[in-house]
Structure 1
Amino acid sequence: MKLNDIDLVTDRRNLRLLLGFVSGKKGPFRIDVEVVNSTVLFSCWTQRAVNYVKGFHGYGHEFEKVSTRHPKAVRDSLTHNRVIRYMFGDVKIIMRYEVDGCTGSDRDIHMAPPTSEVQKTPTGYTVIKCGKLVAPSRIIEIKTGAVGKNLDISKNTEQLWFSQTPFLCAGHYDEAGNFTNITKKNFLKLGKLQRWEDNHQEQLNKLATLLRVIVELAKAAAWKKFALVQSEGALKIFGLANQNDKGLPVDLHSMWE
């Protein structure tokens, strides 16, 4: 695959923020934008590198830990991310998203990992190529909530739709924090993803148009690094003052050659 053929590389979160914008949501956000050759890259931006949690925010992460197991090849990993490629309107997209787990068996857990290949990048990262690719049909999103809380809601279906994640695993806990009911539904086979798409055609068409406008504006501009900022109901584009700051590591530019 040649990355020059891709219009946009992004995270799922950024697409959901922009969908919220075209749907009339007012919350402020910022997305950093970079242009490499003919491809536009969206980067997640947060005001704080560390967030301190105050009060009770549920059992989501702990539930994930006890309800999933790491195969040997990725036993010490902190997070798992995948990419998916598709056409969104007339925009060719590669999208990154985080995965909570997958369906499997004890055989997957105890299978000896294949011989790993270790590479060192010019920017100092260590890349270890190992493990086994999991089929997209096995990917799971995990959600938790108090007993009686409906987790089969549009916001969760939207998240699954962008990555075409088939399964939603929902865990409900009582007042003592004990999980009393756990369900696993295949939203793809049940037609829930298609129904969500059918019910949100207007918003999705607006998003497709917005993405095309952003891509064309970014590629035509003299600047190569920008910030998309939603403020007071308007989406504004600002060129970054320091065009040499951060961005894609130089060694990865070879993927466009």
Structure 2
Amino acid sequence: MANTKEPSASVGKSIARPGYAAEHDEPNRISDFEVAASYNWLDEKNPTILVPGIPPVWSPPAIAPALKPDYGPQYVDQNTDRNPNSPLDSLILAVQTYQPDFDFPAVDMVSDRRPLRKLYGFVTGETDAFEFGAEMVGNTALFVRMEKQTREELPSTTFHGYRQAFEEQYTKLSASAKGSTSHHRIVRYNFGGFVLLVRSGADVYLQELVKGQTSLEKPDTEDLLSQVNVFETLSLGSRTATPTETKEKQDGRVTVVQGGQMIPHAAVLELTTRSKFAKRPFDIEQKMPDLWISQTPNFIEAYHRSVGYKTYNQPGLQQGKFDDIKVKAIREQLAKWETVNASALGKLATVLGQVIEEVKKAQGPCIVRYTGLGDNLRLSTIEALPSLSEDLKSLFHRKE
């Protein structure tokens, strides 16, 4: 298993959960949204990305197959796993490649979606413990995701659902993206008076939305077949299920392969797989903060049922079949969620400002941590933070 190392930290500043949303010059909503870049990780020994990237296309089979349960290795944070010394390099290189004139010094914060989601949970009273790294480069704050491990092993003796098997059967990967193991998108927008550059993953895209259709209407059969013919029967799910040990890495430098295709953001989706008979039904409201941060406009809910038992080296692991799949356009729902949760988003903007200000004062890298208890974040200084290569940090300094 690959694990992130715990840097030594000194006790620092405490940031209280805001009791109210401070007033900001900008409303508590996202504005001036744009896709800054996208990329795929390629399954190479050395860290290599395809820019722009292309997610798998949604291509459900005509007849739902019985799927075996997931097991084996699975990525938790592929960006850090593939490039642990500089996990933000792939983000910045993708933007630099896709937009050579991008104005990096104009960005106030660079982050993965997860630290922002955790901060939103903090201001709304969630009790999940978390931590992430933070440091200033020029006038830009870099937030760095920190997990206890960057990949995990799903034992075959325990049931873990059918997520990977579902992606393998219901999505197809473009020939131009052969060897891809994940797709990531970087978006730029204004929020709470800050300019944010945010990275997140995308699971799949709808071909009919790329072709200019404005709804989630099902294409006719001939059109669907013509789309599927240009895709190989290689799925994203089958490759993400088998991360390999890559101990012999380069010196942290990411190789950029130009190619792929920039898929319109309006066509991308995230998905979830659930049991049709779960005791706690899935509520998309639980996922809305994530979808709002990445502005993901579509979502798939796929529900499975058991179709009997079959042995896969271990007894009692059931096959599953997905016969209830809902493909939803959620752009209007995101806008409504943003309005309803304006107060919480104002608190998020307040905490973002406080964290950035304290990182500036620290004049060095920090860890932002919440233990899950109490009403305070703890910001502690550390000696070093794996974040971004020195040559790429220079992009955030204005040239005189």
Structure of greater relative contact order (alpha carbons < 8 Å, 6+ residues apart):
2
Is the contact made by 1:123 and 1:251 (CA closer than 8 Å) also made in structure 2?
Answer: no
Which of the two has higher C-alpha Rg? 2
1:205 equivalent to 2:346? Answer yes
- For the residue of structure 2 that corresponds to 1:174, the secondary structure is strand
Q: Does 1:180 align with 2:323?
A: yes
Are 1:90 and 1:212, in contact at CA under 8 Å, matched by a contact in 2? no
Aligned to 1:256: 396
State yes or no: 1:11 paired with 2:152.
no
Contact in 2 for aligned 1:71/1:108 (Cα 8 Å):
no
Partners of 2:328 and 2:257 in 1: how far apart? 33
Report the counterpart of residue 162 of structure 1 in structure 2: 293
1:3-42 matches, cutoff 5 A? 3-42=104-143
Equivalent pairs: percent with the same residue?
28
Answer whether contact 1:170 1:184 (CA < 8 A) is retained: yes
Aligned mates of 1:196, 1:109 — CA distance in 2: 38
Give the partner amino acid of 1:82.
R
Provide closer, same or farther for how the CA distance between residues 47 and 109 of structure 1 changes in structure 2, counting only shifts above 3 A: farther
Say which of 276, 283, 288 aligns to 1:147: 276
**How much does 1:74 deviate?**
1.1
SS of the equivalent of 2:377 reads strand
- Quick check: 1:34–1:40 contact (8 Å CA) kept in 2? yes
SS where residue 79 of structure 1 aligns?
A: strand
Which TM-score applies when normalising by structure 2?
A: 0.57
Q: Is residue 214 from structure 1 mapped to residue 358 from structure 2 by the alignment? A: no
- Secondary structure of the residue aligned to 1:86 is strand
Contact 1:30 1:228 (8 Å CA) reproduced: yes
Corresponding residue for residue 115 of structure 1: none
Are the aligned partners of 1:4 and 1:39 in contact in 2 as well (CA < 8 Å)? Answer: yes
Q: Aligned residue for 2:230?
A: 110
* Alpha-carbon shift at residue 39 of structure 1 (Å): 0.5
The amino acid of 1:215's aligned partner reads I
Tell me the distance in 2 between the aligned counterparts of 1:108 and 1:127.
28
| Structure 1: stretches of 5+ with no match in the other structure | 112-120
Deviation string 1:157-203 (CA, Å, 9 cap, x unpaired) is 22211111111111110122111111101011xx2112211221221
Q: CA RMSD of the aligned region, Å?
A: 2.1
Structure 2 unaligned blocks of 5 or more: 1-101, 208-223, 232-249, 308-319
SS at match of 1:124: coil
* Distance in 1 of aligned mates of 2:289 and 2:277: 21
Give the structure 1 partner of residue 379 of structure 2: 237
Q: Distance in 1 between matches of 2:126 and 2:288?
A: 18
TM-score in terms of structure 1 length: 0.87
Q: Offset at 1:109? A: 6.9
Aligned AA (2:149): R
Whether the aligned pair in 2 keeps the contact of 1:122 and 1:251 (CA below 8 Å) is no
| Larger displacement relative to structure 2 (75-84 or 46-55) | 46-55
1:82 aligns with one of 167, 185, 191: 185
Task: Show the counterpart of 2:103.
Answer: 2
- The worse-fitting range, judged by mean Cα deviation, of 38-47 and 192-201 is 192-201
Equivalent residue number for residue 118 of structure 1: none
Residue identity matched to 2:230:
H
The code of the aligned residue for 2:394 comes to S
